[in-house]
A and B are shown apart, each in its own frame.
Chain A
Amino acid sequence: MLLSLALSTFLIAHHRQQPLPPPSSVRIVDVIPKSLSGETNQDSEPSLAIGKAGKGKWLAISAFTPDPAGGELAPLYVSDDGGATWNLNCVIPGGGDVGTSDVTIGFGTGSDLYITDLRGRQPFGHVFLDVIKLADFRSVDPAIDLRPGQLREQVDQPAVVVASTTTDGVATNRLFIGLNDFSAAQGHTSTIDFADQPIFRLETRNTSSQDGPEVRVATIDSGWTYAAFYRWINKNDPREDGNTRINGEVVVRRDNTFGNDAHPFSQLVGKDGKSGISAAPKLSVVWGANIGSQRIGGSLALAIDPRKPADPEMPNVVYLAYGSDNGKDSSPYQLHLCRSTDGGKSWTEITGIPHTANAVNASIAVTTSGIVGFLYQSFDSNSRTWSTYLYRQSDSASDSEPLLLSQFSESTTPNIRDPQNNKFFHPYLGDYAALSTYGDSFLGVFCAGNQAKLANFPLVKDLNQVFSRNFDPITGSMTDIHRNPIKDAKTNRSVSGLSIDPFFFRIDN
């Protein structure tokens, strides 16, 4: 045990001595299909699900995309060829004028797909949570409500993780829906909704009257399941600019049996004797502040190294990413990546990762060979350019410069970034992006401006591999299905053909 700890410490200290080799292949695909070439929506806030049963070929993506015809079934992007081509199927009930609100997805054991979302229409101000399922992710029939007649409301940012568990030899799906539930007593709002069992409150301590919106869960086949959330300890009064500074910490809890321990998520105990370890004790964010056109309010991600440790007494390594500033307006909001080698009891920050200041949408995942990937989107305030990076680190090597998947200037999306324009909404790119793995490959999705320029996709050699929708190869602007400039339907005047699209990517290490 001591030897393993010493070895882990040594590896952490020396992990950046070698550069990682470049990826063996890179695929980046704008998932907007050809038949929707004329669309100019703000398709932000993506999530990704990978169907293991489909051997990495079955993929689904959700985003803030409306039914192109304006109906009340919001779309899901699906691919059964590994992401080369995508179909948009209108199957999610409760879509509004810009799709559903917060939506995430997860595959079950087969081709079944689970979806959690906040409905896109809020009758009389009520924000309803839906937990729904498609029997097959490629279906064009509407998803089925898993809790008919049980309306849950006034929750925020539901994020689903689906674990495959075995009961009496039968594989079943275990849902963990992390969410911020404002109906919780004593401000203990960080919550896990298991879909078919009573909810579980993660918060055990005093709060500012509530926690932050992000509640994330990660689990592995052994049953070890981690949950992380922003505990909001205090908040200042709103400032002159209307924003509010919030101070708190990131708390991590752990359960060893998929949340079925006698006292769920009680494996990690703080110094005060209460469940939950403070993984980031001095956290501070300004609620309401923006980075570029993107709002910030926290960013949180969890991932577990799937490799079994050489020492069976050692737990799997677990990673945590979060966003915070240092409590002063003069300091930038920054993303941090931490690692725990002792099952979440202690955390060490991995320092020296470039471009994490003024960055958002952290997501992490670990491949079967132990390469941790850290996806984030960073803003350069001088050029007003957003860059989407994937930083990789193995046991013995790391990227000295992260892979630059995409970059674009906010000025290329004038219709969407202009707050006076009815098209603009928050969040500009989304309050999250997604990174996952299949084998030793990283698969993910992020949202970005869609100007078709090679300079915007430095890892790409042929833009025709990126875009199935039509574009003008000279200007890089999107064009309609007849390859004509995109026009406003009412005025017939040409408009900017550039907008925000979801981009799927696959990086083979």
Chain B
Amino acid sequence: MLLWARFGDSTMYLLHVLTLALKLSALTFGGCAAQMDVTDAPFAFEGIVDEFGGSNVPSLPKGTNTTATVKVKRLLFDNDTLSQIVGETVTIRLPAKTLVTKRGQDLLFFVSGLSFGATMAFADIGEKLPSELPGVTADAAKRVVAKWVDKARVQAMGSKSIYFLGRVDVSPSSISSQPITEHDPQWAVAHITRLWAFSKGVPKSIPLYFPQSRDQSWVRCPKFKKGDWGFWIARQAPDGLKGALPANVFTTLDAKDFVKDLDRIGALLKALWPTTIRKK
């Protein structure tokens, strides 16, 4: 945001972002394109296998080779709740296809939560070898993993999605809604000026519907105001889900679908550049 304020001009801003993307070329995607399934995981860490078949939680019995205990070496995702688990020994429920075979293995574990009591257990979605992670420092490693995830998200987008750099030039307007419910999304529409399109079919001005409500159901959805800019992954409802919104409108309901962080925008541009980038 500060950069935007400093440059105050979309062309300058784009030049900056593109330069940033080129500078970031040293942080490669690690040749992980064939293993993107693990990037569905919401959390990841590097750990050393303590006991193959081990378990520290009552709900996962020991000795079945479907579990392992792992000492957490470093985190690969930011997570407020789990930020202090480095050095802890956690239990992992292994997937059917796993790299875990013995004590002492150093692996990257991509996991979701499973059970949390006196100790904690995770459901392992997949592993990678540390050699696939060139980042040396914890922050660098986190950045690399974040790029894996961003790239996977872009690759997973269907034909009903568009992605673009843009800016909210006019204050969003509210749309009246019925019925009265605690979960009223309180829809608003933001008309976003396209700065740079990276997919087909991105109009110059994109009306984007978003929920203004701070109800629990909608609070984490991105909310926009005049002056916001960034990278949007905007999605259109598939045919079977039309009805809650006017036909063919775009929404950005997942917090991950609006990226403001310059570093990540740069990585996204780099991921998209070779094949799909389109000039304004």
Chain A positions near chain B (C-beta within 8 angstroms): 33-36, 38-41, 44-45, 64, 67-73, 75, 85-90, 96-98, 101-102, 118, 120-127, 138-140, 153-154, 156-157, 180, 182, 189, 209-210, 213, 235, 244, 246, 287, 295, 297, 419, 422, 424-427, 431, 468, 480-482, 484, 487-490
A71 touches B42 (CB 8 A): yes
A125 touches B245 (CB 8 A): yes
The majority secondary structure among interface residues of chain A is loop
Q: Which residues of B contact A246 (CB under 8 A)?
A: 180
B82 touches A69 (CB 8 A): yes
B237 touches A123 (CB 8 A): yes
Select B116's contact among A36, A40, A41, A64, beta carbons within 8 Å.
Answer: A36
Residue on B with the closest CB to A430? B216
Give Cα distance in the complex from A71 to B79, angstroms. 12
Residue on B with the closest CB to A423? B219
Residue on A with the closest CB to B84? A480
Give Cα distance in the complex from A431 to B216, angstroms. 11
Contact of A140 with B42 at beta-carbon distance under 8 Å, contacts A156-B183, A481-B85 already known: no
Q: List 8 interface pairs A-B (beta carbons < 8 Å), by A numbering.
A: A64-B216, A67-B112, A71-B42, A72-B42, A88-B117, A118-B217, A125-B245, A468-B118
Give Cα distance in the complex from A156 to B267, angstroms. 41
Whole-angstrom distance from the CB of A254 to the nearest CB of chain B? Answer: 27
Give Cα distance in the complex from A55 to B118, angstroms. 24
B122-139 toward A: CB 8 Å interface, digit per residue (1/0)?
110000000000000000
Give Cα distance in the complex from A488 to B93, angstroms. 28
B59 touches A125 (CB 8 A): no
Q: Within 8 Å of chain A (Cβ to Cβ): is B274?
A: no
Q: Which residues of A contact B183 (CB under 8 A)?
A: 101-102, 118, 127, 156
Contact of A156 with B81 at beta-carbon distance under 8 Å, contacts A69-B113, A88-B115, A425-B219 already known: no
Q: Which residues of B contact A98 (CB under 8 A)?
A: 216, 219-220
Chain B positions near chain A (C-beta within 8 angstroms): 41-43, 59-60, 77-85, 88, 93, 111-123, 178-183, 185, 187, 209, 211, 214-220, 235, 237, 241-245, 251, 253-255
Interface centre among A72, A124, A154 (most CB of B within 10 A): A124
Whole-angstrom distance from the CB of A94 to the nearest CB of chain B? Answer: 11
Whole-angstrom distance from the CB of A151 to the nearest CB of chain B? Answer: 9
Q: Which residues of A contact B235 (CB under 8 A)?
A: 124
Q: Which residues of A contact B82 (CB under 8 A)?
A: 38, 68-69
Q: Which residues of B contact A90 (CB under 8 A)?
A: 112-115, 123
Give Cα distance in the complex from A212 to B181, angstroms. 8
Give Cα distance in the complex from A153 to B242, angstroms. 12
Give Cα distance in the complex from A213 to B185, angstroms. 16
B182 touches A156 (CB 8 A): yes
Q: Which residues of B contact A33 (CB under 8 A)?
A: 116-118
Give Cα distance in the complex from A273 to B14, angstroms. 71
Give Cα distance in the complex from A245 to B185, angstroms. 20
Whole-angstrom distance from the CB of B130 to the nearest CB of chain A? Answer: 20
Select B88's contact among A69, A118, A287, A481, beta carbons within 8 Å.
Answer: A481
Select B214's contact among A44, A75, A127, A425, beta carbons within 8 Å.
Answer: A425
B42 touches A89 (CB 8 A): no
Contact of A124 with B116 at beta-carbon distance under 8 Å, contacts A97-B255, A426-B216 already known: no
Whole-angstrom distance from the CB of B89 to the nearest CB of chain A? Answer: 11
Residue on B with the closest CB to A119? B217
Give Cα distance in the complex from A125 to B245, angstroms. 7
Give Cα distance in the complex from A75 to B114, angstroms. 8
Whole-angstrom distance from the CB of A325 to the nearest CB of chain B? Answer: 17
Select A38's contact among B81, B179, B220, B241, beta carbons within 8 Å.
Answer: B81
Sample of 13 further A-B pairs with CB below 8 A, known A90-B115, A140-B114 = A33-B116, A34-B117, A38-B80, A38-B81, A67-B112, A71-B42, A71-B123, A85-B118, A88-B117, A89-B114, A89-B115, A246-B180, A489-B83
Whole-angstrom distance from the CB of A29 to the nearest CB of chain B? Answer: 13
Give Cα distance in the complex from A88 to B181, angstroms. 30
Whole-angstrom distance from the CB of B277 to the nearest CB of chain A? Answer: 27
Residue on B with the closest CB to A157? B182
